[in-house]
Amino acid sequence: DSMKPFSEEDKIYLLKKGISPEKAAKQIQTFQDGIPFVALSKAAVVGDGIIRLSVEQQQHLRKHYMDQRNNLSILKFIPASGAASRMFKDLFGFLKGYNPQVTPLKEFLNRPDKKAIKTFYEGLERFPFFDEISGSMSAKADTQGEMLYAFISAMLTEKGKNYGFYPKGLLPFHRYGNRTATPFVEHLKEGAAYGRAGATSHLHFTISPQHRDLFQKEEESVTPGIAAATGCKFEIDYSYQKESTDTLAVTPENEPFRDRNGQLLFRPGGHGALLENLNDQEADLIFVKNIDNVVPDRDLEEITAWKEVLAGYLLKLQTKAFSFHRMLIDGTVDHDLLKRAHAFLETGLNVRFSDAYTGYSLEEQFAVLIDKLSRPIRVCGMVRNEGDPGGGPFWITDAMGNESLQIVESAQVDLQDQAQLQIFEKATHFNPVDLVCGVRDAFGKKLDLLQYVNSKQGFIASKTFEGRTLKALELPGLWNGGMAYWNTVFVEVPGSTFNPVKTVNDLLKAAHQS
């Protein structure tokens, strides 16, 4: 009996989190079975899984989106729950490991493992927050070392500006004269530029509960100004990662992991958990883009143009898919219609059919086509690889031998296997998280996105808690296994549309210096 590991107290605790004992037991089973690697069959490249559009096509698609968008409900969905602490890892290390009274700064910065701090120090005045932090420093600093130590303390610690606690979305990223702007602000401007239907732009941020008040404050302070400048009204809402998507941790022996008090330990399930938040949205067209991938005003036009291209492409695909779906449902099932629908799915939506398909009766073929046509569709921008890490576009083969187009992370691939490593290294493009999603069927019905997940595509990671090793389960990533059974199209977009900020020094890159 797989329910055995749970006591009555456990069950009460599970209930409170909204997790059934069955679901928790299934997670233990997943640890026991292990998660198989994804089998890559080949990299997706231009002409085989990735589309490259001509300038004429781009203009045509933009116009198509512009013509349609006022009749649609449009949403910008922004995963924004990340705390900024990862951005400042090196700076926290500096506060822990540097004593200005003992070591001259110059000597410290010349150590080979201190490159990041050196870059930070040399670029200090070019950071958007330089004036704000300098103005808030109370400590008297006699040496360069004391100055830098005082600056970083004033920036990160609770006594100072407390950036270490902030969410990424609320840190100053760009500077305009004597004002600074956060990613939250830049996303509103994007919403006004390409994410509006009529005079309204709707944005949804997934945030951490502890940041709610900070977001609320920022919204109240910046929205009126941006609304006035853009002539756009904003509807902004927030959600949290649901507790019911947390996953059970286990010991190295796959027993439920318990903390010092004997309580079961759950951990957040990673960005795949946000599929539930996405599924709660009611919109015809949803843009998905990470909070830290923003640009200053001068590049907004290019970002906008490419978003309109992707959205136009999605709308064209939907029109065709919907029309085939309705013709199949309405009409007599004739051979020619089945053939045309099959060809569209294969060439337009990258759907691959099993070898058995040709032997099916008309009724069976009809059922397969309806199933494939009534799925959510995503059009994803793909950026040419300049050696950036991260997931990429691949054709994969599942256990049943079915081929499909997926966004795959390196952790999902057995890189010890030479053949798999070779395919992985053939990737010409990577995933910048630049999606436009259509989540309705041909009859306007909102699809249940939880039906299109491949639950076998999660990750098992090794972590520690209270000094003990544990195994943690990450849900299939939102745009990886979380969308495994969507109809997927990849379109090449320029690298200039991808400007994430992973560490604080990324703010020194030309793209973020206004």
Match 């779906």 to its residue by tokens: 325
The pTM score is 0.94
- Say whether pLDDT at 38 is over 90: yes
- What CA–CA distance (Å, rounded) separates 148 from 154? 10
In which band, very low, low, confident or very high, does the pLDDT at 325 lie, cut at 50, 70 and 90?
Answer: very high
- Say whether pLDDT at 384 is over 80: yes
Among 167, 168, 163, 134, which Cα is nearest to 151's?
Answer: 134
Indicate the burial class of 299 (C-beta count within 10 angstroms; 0-12, 13-18, 19 or more).
middle
- What CA–CA distance (Å, rounded) separates 277 from 471? 25
pLDDT tens, position by position, 18-31: 999 999 999 999 99
pLDDT tens, position by position, 344-359: 999 999 999 998 999 9
pLDDT tens, position by position, 258-304: 999 999 999 988 889 999 999 999 999 999 999 999 999 999 999 99
pLDDT tens, position by position, 133-190: 998 887 678 899 999 999 999 999 999 999 999 999 999 999 999 999 999 999 999 9
Match 């920036």 to its residue by tokens: 155
Q: CA triplet 481, 483, 486: central angle to 5 degrees?
A: 130
Match 């045509």 to its residue by tokens: 60
In which band, very low, low, confident or very high, does the pLDDT at 505 lie, cut at 50, 70 and 90?
Answer: very high
Q: One-letter amino acid identity for 252?
A: P
- Say whether pLDDT at 253 is over 70: yes
Q: Can you list the pairs that 414-421 forms with residues at least 24 positions away whose Cβ atoms lie under 8 Å?
A: 414/37, 417/37, 420/37, 420/39, 420/40
Give the pLDDT of residue 4. 66
Residue-averaged pLDDT of the chain: 94
- What CA–CA distance (Å, rounded) separates 320 from 149? 60
Question: Hey, which bits of 143-262 come out as E strands?
Answer: 174-176, 179-181, 196-197, 200-207, 233-240, 247-248
